[in-house]
Amino acid sequence: MTDAALIDGKARAAELRARVGAAVADLEERHGTVPGLAVVQLGDDPASSVYVNSKNRLAAECGIRSLGFHGSGDTGEAELLAEIDRLNGDDDVDGILVQLPLPDHIDAGRVLERIDPVKDVDGFHPVNVGLLVTGGEAPVPCTPLGCLLMLREQLGDMSGKTAVIVGRSNIVGKPMAALLTREHCTVTVAHSRTRDLPAVCRGADILVAAVGRPEMIRGDWIGPGATVIDVGINRIAAPERGPDRTRLVGDVAFDEARTVAGAITPVPGGVGPMTIACLLRNTLEAACRRRGRSMPEL
Ligand code: NDP
């Protein structure tokens, strides 16, 4: 038995960010314009703050201007919608991202629908979801896009491969299914009602896990040589590291899986860094589109 190849999302994300940074510099030099990204956050949820801070920091490293809005957890829906309207109308803003989850008193669907589809760098607007499914040009949700770029680099042509996606959320599972269908894979979307999930997973050449259950997918659920993309981010207790210590694990039992799979993403250091790099890529793309420039091949 051999160990699976490690798909190093951290290194690939750094490469992608460097290419985005070079393209941003080129845009500024040739056209005197810099892309702007507005990250909208309400409240001070610690996990959201960590994500927002790293998005803003990495955007700055790529030369992208951050024009965020940070409201209190009590901000009302009308006030938030007015802020989205303002950002939609601000010519310096190319991309708008609303950090989820939003407080319970706000209808997230209504807020996401208010974003101008051209500035929707998360690709969650119903217009963009429709374009993704029908094969049109639209921003692609960042996490599935990151998974796709890693798969393309690892496998090249995916035509005819059997892909199983475990999870059918709007932000990961469903767009991932649309993307892999576009790559000519034969796609199965599994979920909590799927019968005999281990057998379904075992049939996959490409297995994407987006469940949110620590290490649910065991080594013997994986077909020999399969390519495994682990989207899950789960924090579990790690008493071996000391009292009250925790660690991150994916949805796949990594140590078991890597003795069977052909290639696998680690957690952390896999899909997570690629997600942010794809957000910056999407911001550049939105800036090019809004200014009538062609998006460079990245
Ligand atoms: P959701 O909770 O929205 O969806 C989870 C999906 O998993 C649902 O479709 C659910 O099925 C399915 N599911 C739950 N339990 C089972 C089970 N026992 N067997 C089979 N399917 C099951 O999660 P998200 O898609 O938002 O996120 C999934 C994971 O990915 C999380 O760990 C999240 O933290 C992580 N994530 C990571 C990102 C990154 O950048 N790396 C970005 C986004 C998410 P059903 O529909 O039937 O309920």
Segment (H or E) for 77: helix 77-89
Is 55 among the catalytic positions? yes
| Unique residue bearing structure tokens 């997973």 | 201
Q: Whose CA is nearest to atom 17 of ligand 1?
A: 192
Ligand 1 centroid to residue 28 C-alpha, Å: 39
Q: Residue 62: its pLDDT value, please?
A: 98
d(C-alpha 87, C-alpha 98), whole Å: 11
Report the alpha-carbon distance of residue 79 to residue 3 in Å, rounded.
53
- The residue assigned the tokens 């009590």 is 74
pLDDT in tens, 24-47: 999 999 999 999 999 999 999 999
How far is residue 255's CA from residue 258's CA, in Å, rounded to a whole number?
A: 6
pLDDT score at 2: 74
**How far away, in angstroms, is 212 Cα from ligand 1 center?**
4
In terms of Cα–Cα distance, which of 167, 71, 175 is closest to 120? 175
Closest by CA position to 65, among listed 90, 101, 100, 102: 90
**Residue 101: pLDDT band with limits 50, 70, 90:** very high
Task: Report in angstroms the alpha-carbon separations of 160 from 49, 181, 182, 206.
Answer: 41, 10, 11, 11
Q: By C-alpha distance, which of 37, 81, 17 is closest to 290?
A: 37
Rounded to a whole number, what is the distance in angstroms from the first to the last CA of the chain? Answer: 36
Residue 122 annotated to the active site? yes
Mean pLDDT of 113-124: 98
Say if residue 1's pLDDT is above 90: no
Dihedral over alpha carbons 217, 221, 223, 229 (to 10 degrees): -10
Write out pLDDT tens, residues 204-232: 999 999 999 999 999 999 999 999 999 99
- Of ligand 1's listed atoms, the one at least distance from the Cα of 172 is 25
pLDDT band at 115 (very low <50, low <70, confident <90, very high): very high
Set 41, 94, 99, 161: catalytic member: 99
Q: How far is the CA of 151 from the centre of ligand 1 (A)?
A: 20
Share above pLDDT 90 across residues of the chain, in percent, rounded to a whole number: 97
pLDDT tens-digit readout, 65-96? 999 899 999 999 999 999 999 999 999 999 99
pLDDT exceeds cutoff 70 at 106: yes
Q: Which residues pair with 69 in a beta bridge?
A: 40
pLDDT of residue 298: 87
The pTM (predicted TM-score) of the whole model is 0.97
Contact 173, 189 (CB under 8 A): yes
pLDDT at 175 over 80: yes
From 91, 97, 157, 155, select the one nearest 124 (Cα to Cα). 97
The pLDDT tens digits for 240-253 are: 999 999 999 999 99
Q: Ligand 1, closest atom to CA 194?
A: 20
Rounded to an integer, what distance in angstroms lies between the CA atom of residue 225 and that of residue 208?
14
pLDDT higher than threshold 80 for residue 290: yes
Q: Where are the beta strands (DSSP E) in 57-166?
A: 65-66, 69-71, 95-98, 162-166
Q: State phi, psi for 188 to the nearest 5 degrees.
A: -115, 130
Catalytic status, residue 41: no
Atom of ligand 1 minimally distant from the CA of 274: 40
Mean pLDDT score, 174-200: 98
Give backbone dihedrals phi and psi of 69, rounded to 5 degrees, phi first: -130, 125
Ligand 1 pocket at CB < 6 A: 143, 166-169, 171-173, 190-194, 197, 210-213, 231-234, 271-272, 275
Ligand 1 closest atom vs CA 173: 25
Q: Which residues contact 70 (CB under 8 A, 6 or more apart)?
A: 40, 41, 42, 52
Choose one of 7, 54, 191, 279 to mutate for the ligand 1 pocket test, by most ligand atoms within 8 angstroms of C-beta.
191
- With a CB cutoff of 8 Å and minimum separation 6, the contacts of 149 are 12, 16, 274, 278
Query: Judging by beta carbons within 10 Å of its beta carbon (0-12, 13-18, 19+), is residue 292 exposed, middle or buried?
Result: exposed
User: Residue 118: what pLDDT?
Assistant: 97
